[in-house]
Amino acid sequence: MSTSDANPAAPRGVKIVCTLGPATSSTEAIRALVRAGMNVARLNFSHGRFEEHAERARLVRAAAQA
């Protein structure tokens, strides 16, 4: 298939993945990421405490409901 055969209107399986950290520890910051196109939130468990990640996961859920 050449690029000229591709349908530009067809949806692609592209995801915008954002790794959340201290700079995104508020619902407002996460909502801004969602508005900018984020559709996957990633938590890096190599850094930080479990409690911090649990709070960020809660914030992501709250932002998704809004």
DSSP 5-60: GS-TTS------EEEE-GGG-SHHHHHHHHHTT--EEEE-TTSS-HHHHHHHHHHH
pLDDT at 4: 56
pLDDT digits (tens, 9 = 90+) for 23-40: 999 999 999 999 999 999
Q: What angle do CA 39, 43, 45 make, to 5 degrees?
A: 160
Evaluate if residue 20 carries a pLDDT over 60. Answer: yes
Structural domain boundaries in the chain: 16-65
pLDDT at 66: 77
Which tokens hold the place of 31? Answer: 């909502």
| pLDDT bracket for residue 62 (50, 70, 90) | very high
Interatomic CA distance for residues 8 and 17, integer angstroms: 22
Evaluate if residue 8 carries a pLDDT over 90. Answer: no
